[in-house]
Amino acid sequence: MGGWREETALETTQLVVHGWLWKNYQYVLAFYFALEEINKDSQLLPNVTLGFHVYNTITSDHFTLWSTLVWLSGTGRILPNYNCQTHSKFAAIIAGTTAAFSAETGTLLELYKFPQAKSRHFSLFIQVTCGPFDSRLSDKHQYPSLYQMAPKDSTLVQAMMSLLLHFGWTWVAIFISEDMKGELFLRDLKAEMLKKGICVAFTEKLLAIKTMYGPSDIIFMAKIRLSSANVHILYGEVGSLITVDIAAEFYLTTGKVWIMTAKWDIVMYEMNHMLHSFHGGFSLSPHNAEVPGLRQFLATSNPSRYPEDFYFSKLWLSFLECSPPGSFCGKIGVCSPNTSLEFLPGNLDLMTVSDSSYFIYNAVHAVAHALHQRLLEETEMCSPECAQLHRPLPWQLHPFLKKTEFTNSAGSLISLDEERRHLAQYDIKNTVNFPAGLGLLVKVGEFVSGSPHDEGLVINEERIEWPVGFTETPQSVCSQSCGPGFRKLPQEGRPTCCFTCVFCPEGHISNQTDADQCTRCPTHEYPNRGRDRCLPKTVDFLSFTDPLGMALICTALCFSALTAAVLGLFVRHRDTPIVKANNRALSYTLLISLLPCFLCTFLFIGRPNAATCVLQQITFGLVFTVAVSTVLAKTITVILAFMITKPGRSIRWLLVSGASNLVIPICSLIQIILCAVWLGTSPPFIDTDAHSEHGHIIIVCNKGSLAAFYCVLGYLGSLALLSFTVAFLARNLPDTFNEAKFLTFSMLVFCSVWVTFLPVYHSTKGKVMVAVEVFSILASSAGLLGCIFAPKCYIILLRPERNSLHGFRDKTRASKRNLSS
């Protein structure tokens, strides 16, 4: 091609670790490919041919500065401040893959200043770096002429978090380079881990450069082996990884999953065994499209194409052990026509394009587009002959580089403006080592930042090769997960990921893994045995089919039938002395009142409703008041009957008139008033008891106003106590059939039952509480029936001779003799 020749310098970084790291030679080949592609493009830089110089720098400050000064001098030796090369001009420097190298080169180049408008100075040279993005190099005050090709990895931490959370890894170790970039990454990583509930087992800082192993590495690797964390994160410059890699080579450490960034190309180092420490790890690299033709170019390139490239020839001879066609080396046989870099040993893969190679390709095109725009501007300002004479200087490309934006051959939009350039997608690759040192990075997923519903991570787990010792996804947790039914109890003095699993307390559940707190079941539900879900409680009540309910009902029916039989017996023998002796009307009243006392228990059994809740308490209070007041009336009758037997008494009319019977309506009226007040203020209502029986909701009748309930019960107790007192005082009065004594016993039983009822009633709940109240009703009613009427029935049925007029008179005379004596 005609025209003049612009040259671009490429400085690559080679790591010397037991020989050359030939993987990095791919950078040079990508550089060659980009230049040839541009020179063949008739639309980009027409009539301009781009040339190049390649300089190798070893990972050391000395070689970095030496190579840069040699390039500046333009000769094979260093001549500071002189440029002895006049036949061509350099357009830009495509710098190496480490931030330290770019910083050192950039600092040196900034010594060559050219004044610009507004007192701003630019370097005479432009430097475009192809390593990972480094915020330190973005300082335009310190590096105004330096441009970074890699986008800012602001979402790298987010991608790592998604990967950790996907596999449930909450206990990790962190290895970072001991520099400012490592510190910034560690700060962001820990902040995000704190939000996501991931804990750090330990943090290890790595030296920037490590070339030998020693006793400290034994301690270093022992710390890795003994760590309970099975997942390790590595981040930093390439040189700092040597600390891990050298130690790993001498002290093989397997069983750990390493998560690394794309710049850890050393994982592909020529290892001759399968059990490499990084086998089964993950590498996160920016998503890069495939450059058309680049792979074919790599496959067809050979040293004959670039005869001045010493490194290409050394690579070819070292690994393919043959000389390319046209070579002057006669001691080694000529390679066959199909010999290619594709057939390199498995431990050296130059066909898989790395991220740095992709950035170098884009960097060359970016400089070419900037130069193209500068030449177009120059052409518009003057004639073509004038433009030919005025070759653009490197510093004149700054305005164009800042604005450069183009679409590369892979279809990706490329820009050098950091404000317009962002990294939102990562490829996740699995590090796989095979026998004979074959190492591959197999893509197993990708991460896209900003995806809705946190669905940015896509992983194909079937393609993942795990570290040796794992047949399934490894676990990396400080404590095993707490399953449903348990909650986490933090361990004092340890990270939040370390905890003890505690079974949920009664009435609580946890239906998720690693629950911080157990949740109480609603009132109408109860926890199952595993405490992992709530079950609906069974509605229950003291039913007629319940064994306890059936027993109480049968007892009530039996006593009701017995009461009816006694009433019938008394009616049948109503004219006998024993029935007539103590006011048979009161006996009928007592027997009739005892019948509803027994039958009211039916109101307490069965499913409660609003009507039964009101009736059971009111009926109980009224019928028992009638029964107890009847007993009181009978006691008063006994006393009046004795008083009229003494001469001079004038109260016979009280006995004859039945004045004692007025006690029943008067006492009952008072109870009716109390019940009316109860119903008017806070009547009984339907209630549920969800706590008495596990898994059951007991439907019960709430008393409403406890004060009113105890007033009714207290009034009834007062009547019983009064009846007992009166009967007890009259127990020794002469009576034909010992009526006063029987009344005393009946009231004693009645009071004993209800005094016992109170503490028992308050100590029970649910159906048992209802049963206690029913039992107390039956027991007290049976006490009245048995103590008062059992002796009379005995005489009527078994001793009829004592129930005759003759027997009655004999009994009366005997009583009078006892009284006179």
Nearest to 722 by CA among 763, 769, 770, 663: 663
- The whole-angstrom separation of Cα 625 and Cα 621 is 6
Highest mean pLDDT among 245-249, 324-328, 438-442: 438-442
The reply to whether 774 and 744 lie within a common domain is yes
- The whole-angstrom separation of Cα 466 and Cα 32 is 37
80-89, 537-546, 663-672: lowest mean pLDDT where?
A: 80-89
Average pLDDT over residues 734-759: 80
- Tell me if 315 is assigned to some domain: no
Q: Count of CB atoms within 10 A of residue 436's CB?
A: 13
| Residue the block writes with tokens 């009181």 | 632
| Residue 591's CATH number | 1.20.1070.10
Facing residues of 525 across strands?
536
Residue 664 · residue 629 · CB < 8 Å: yes
Provide the pLDDT for residue 444: 94
Q: What are the b/e assignments for 421-432, b being 16+ CB within 10 Å?
A: bebbbbbbbbbb
How far does CA 789 lie from the centroid of its chain? Answer: 73
The reply to whether 651 and 724 lie within a common domain is yes
The reply to whether 149 and 170 lie within a common domain is no
Provide the pLDDT for residue 732: 66
Single residue among 510, 536, 562 that ends a domain in this structure: 536
Q: What phi and psi values does residue 597 have, to the nearest 5 degrees?
A: -65, -45
Pairing of strands 425-433, 282-286: antiparallel
Helix (H/G/I), strand (E/B), else coil: 130: coil
The reply to whether 224 and 246 lie within a common domain is yes
- The whole-angstrom separation of Cα 26 and Cα 408 is 19
Q: Does residue 554 or residue 54 have the better pLDDT?
A: 554
| Residue 442's CATH number | 3.40.50.2300
- The residue type at 719: L
How far does CA 273 lie from the centroid of its chain? Answer: 41
How far does CA 478 lie from the centroid of its chain? Answer: 15
Number of domains in the chain: 4
Strand intervals (E) in 15-126: 49-58, 89-95, 113-115, 121-123
- Left (φ > 0), alpha (ψ -120 to 50) or beta: where does 81 sit? left
Work out the percent of the chain whose per-residue pLDDT is above 70: 77
For residue 534, pLDDT over 50 is answered with: yes
**Token duo for residue 637:** 């009758």
Q: Taking the alpha carbons of 724, 726, 732, 738 in that order, is the dihedral positive or negative?
A: negative
Q: Does residue 451 or residue 795 have the better pLDDT?
A: 795
Provide the pLDDT for residue 774: 92
Average pLDDT over residues 580-601: 87
pLDDT bin (cut points 50, 70, 90) of residue 391 is low
**Token duo for residue 779:** 């027991």
- Tell me if 471 is assigned to some domain: no
Average pLDDT over residues 513-517: 90
pLDDT bin (cut points 50, 70, 90) of residue 791 is confident
For residue 16, pLDDT over 50 is answered with: no
- The whole-angstrom separation of Cα 396 and Cα 399 is 7
Strand intervals (E) in 657-733: 685-689, 696-702
Provide the pLDDT for residue 81: 66
Burial of 745 (C-beta count, 10 Å sphere; 0-12/13-18/19+): buried
47-51, 86-90, 120-124, 693-697: lowest mean pLDDT where?
A: 120-124
- Tell me if 470 is assigned to some domain: no
For residue 632, pLDDT over 50 is answered with: yes
Angle between helices 99-109 and 61-73 (to 10 degrees): 40
The reply to whether 697 and 773 lie within a common domain is yes
- Tell me if 343 is assigned to some domain: yes
Residue 251 · residue 226 · CB < 8 Å: no
The reply to whether 552 and 697 lie within a common domain is yes
The reply to whether 85 and 228 lie within a common domain is no
**Token duo for residue 13:** 């970084």
Work out the percent of the chain whose per-residue pLDDT is above 90: 26
Mind giving me the DSSP string for 738-768? -HHHHHHHHHHHHHHHHHHHHHHHHT--HHH
State pLDDT tens for residues 165-218. Answer: 999 999 999 988 888 888 889 999 999 999 998 999 999 888 766 555 566 666
Mean pLDDT for all residues in the chain: 80
Q: What phi and psi values does residue 637 have, to the nearest 5 degrees?
A: -65, -40
For residue 13, pLDDT over 50 is answered with: no
The reply to whether 622 and 763 lie within a common domain is yes
Provide the pLDDT for residue 84: 65
pLDDT bin (cut points 50, 70, 90) of residue 447 is very high
Q: What phi and psi values does residue 7 have, to the nearest 5 degrees?
A: -120, 145
The reply to whether 193 and 112 lie within a common domain is no
Q: How many residues are listed for the chain in this entry?
A: 821
pLDDT bin (cut points 50, 70, 90) of residue 20 is low
CA distances from 494 to 174, 188, 200, 203, 252 (A): 17, 21, 11, 15, 30
Domain region containing 586: 547-820
Facing residues of 202 across strands?
173
Residue partners of 518: CB distance under 8 A and separation at least 6: 487, 504, 505, 508, 509, 510, 531
Residue 132 · residue 151 · CB < 8 Å: no
Residue 387 · residue 376 · CB < 8 Å: no
Residue 633 · residue 659 · CB < 8 Å: no
- Tell me if 477 is assigned to some domain: no
- Tell me if 723 is assigned to some domain: yes
Q: What phi and psi values does residue 131 have, to the nearest 5 degrees?
A: -85, 180
pLDDT bin (cut points 50, 70, 90) of residue 334 is confident
The torsion of the CA quartet 187, 193, 198, 202, rounded to 10 degrees, works out to -10
pLDDT bin (cut points 50, 70, 90) of residue 453 is low
Average pLDDT over residues 652-663: 62
For residue 3, pLDDT over 50 is answered with: no
261-265, 638-642, 799-803: lowest mean pLDDT where?
A: 261-265
Residue 733 · residue 740 · CB < 8 Å: yes
The reply to whether 44 and 140 lie within a common domain is yes
Q: Count of CB atoms within 10 A of residue 310's CB?
A: 12
The reply to whether 652 and 788 lie within a common domain is yes
Q: What is the DSSP letter of 21?
A: -
- Tell me if 223 is assigned to some domain: yes
Single residue among 415, 431, 448 that ends a domain in this structure: 415
For residue 408, pLDDT over 70 is answered with: yes
Residue 224 · residue 203 · CB < 8 Å: no
Q: Does residue 49 or residue 329 have the better pLDDT?
A: 49
Average pLDDT over residues 104-116: 66
Single residue among 382, 397, 415 that ends a domain in this structure: 415
- The residue type at 528: N
For residue 430, pLDDT over 70 is answered with: yes
Q: Does residue 114 or residue 106 have the better pLDDT?
A: 106
Q: Is the pTM of this model over 0.75?
A: no
- Tell me if 474 is assigned to some domain: no
pLDDT bin (cut points 50, 70, 90) of residue 82 is low
- The whole-angstrom separation of Cα 820 and Cα 814 is 10
The reply to whether 686 and 743 lie within a common domain is yes
- The whole-angstrom separation of Cα 610 and Cα 595 is 24
State pLDDT tens for residues 457-512. Answer: 999 999 999 988 888 999 999 998 899 999 999 998 889 889 999 999 988 999 99
